[in-house]
């Protein structure tokens, strides 16, 4: 019995000497594989991070380039616009009503306003006519002919100042405007807004000065643009 026990013990010791190196080798291989896999994962993450960083930089660069191009186009457009402005004898490009000091300034302001306000296609002054003074503005409105063809149609708005300080406002579209939808124009609202505008009331005089005429002109255009913007937000 003791002999069998010794044999078993010897066999166990022999097995341990044989298996330990195998297990250790397997463990080393496993550790090496795990480390290699982790290295690959880290490398992949680094590559992905690098790609994301490069893509981010590319997107930012493209965006900045696009902004630069847009800015250049706007600057070029503004430059052309400034170059188109007329100047008065004092060398001033009269582009606001506050700069108008004389009838000559008013003429220059009228011309420059048609450059500055792209929607304005025509401005007429008619004074000393049967005790009335008129200012007429033609303005372009976008719409859809027959509901789907984009077109521009022009409204004609006239502000009449009478000797008795009465104020009349008339506005209309071309006869064919009934075929156009989404016109960004409501006749009754526009006439009412102009009639109730404080600046227009104060400056719509039969014997208005050049400065007052300019203020009147500017205020009427503001009201037309305001209605266009309001109606456009509804139609869109």
What CA–CA distances, in Å, run from 156 to 39, 176, 184? 76, 14, 14
Structure-model confidence comparison of residues 2 and 29, the more confident one: 29
| Predicted pLDDT at 234 | 79
pLDDT, position 175: 93
| pTM for the whole structure | 0.64
| DSSP letter for each residue of the chain | -HHHHHHHHHHHHHHHHHHHHHHHHHHHHHHHHHHHHHHHHHHHHHHHHHHHHHHHHHHHHHHHHHHHHHHHHHHHHHHHHHHH--B-TTS-B--SGGG--SHHHHHHHHHHHHHHSTTEEEEEEEEEETTEEEEEEEEEEEEEETTTEEEEEEEEEEEEEETTS-EEEEEE--GGGGGEE--S--HHHHHHHHHT-HHHHHH--TT--HHHHHHHHHHHHHHHHHHHHHHHHHH-
Rg (CA), the chain: 41
Structural domain spans, the chain? 1-84, 118-235
pLDDT given for residue 15 in this prediction: 44
User: Which positions ≥6 away from 136 have C-beta within 8 Å?
Assistant: 122, 123, 124, 126, 156, 157, 158, 159
Tens of pLDDT, residue by residue over 109-158, are 999 999 999 899 999 988 766 667 889 999 998 888 888 888 888 999 99
On the question of pLDDT at 40 being above 80, the answer is: no
């Amino acid at each position: 019995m003791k002999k069998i026990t010794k044999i078993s013990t010897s066999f166990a010791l022999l097995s341990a000497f044989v298996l330990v190196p195998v297990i250790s080798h397997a463990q080393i291989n496993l550790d090496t594989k795990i480390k290699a896999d982790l290295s690959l994962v880290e490398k992949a993450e680094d590559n992905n991070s690098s790609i994301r960083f490069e893509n981010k930089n590319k997107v930012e660069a493209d965006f900045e380039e696009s902004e630069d191009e847009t800015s250049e186009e706007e600057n070029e457009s503004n430059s052309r616009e400034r170059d188109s402005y007329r100047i008065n004898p004092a060398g001033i490009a009269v582009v606001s009503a506050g700069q108008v000091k004389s009838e000559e300034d008013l003429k220059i302001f009228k011309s420059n306003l048609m450059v500055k306000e792209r929607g304005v296609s025509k401005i007429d002054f008619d004074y000393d006519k049967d005790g009335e003074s008129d200012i007429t503005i033609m303005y372009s409105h976008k719409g859809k002919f027959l509901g789907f063809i984009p077109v521009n149609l022009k409204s004609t708005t006239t502000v009449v100042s009478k000797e008795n300080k009465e104020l009349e406002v008339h506005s209309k579209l071309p006869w064919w405007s009934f075929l156009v939808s989404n016109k960004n124009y409501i006749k009754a609202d526009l006439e009412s807004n102009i009639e109730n505008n404080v600046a227009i009331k104060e400056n719509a005089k039969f014997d208005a000065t050049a400065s007052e005429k300019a203020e009147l002109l500017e205020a009427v255009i503001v009201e037309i643009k305001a209605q266009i913007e309001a109606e456009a937000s509804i139609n869109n």
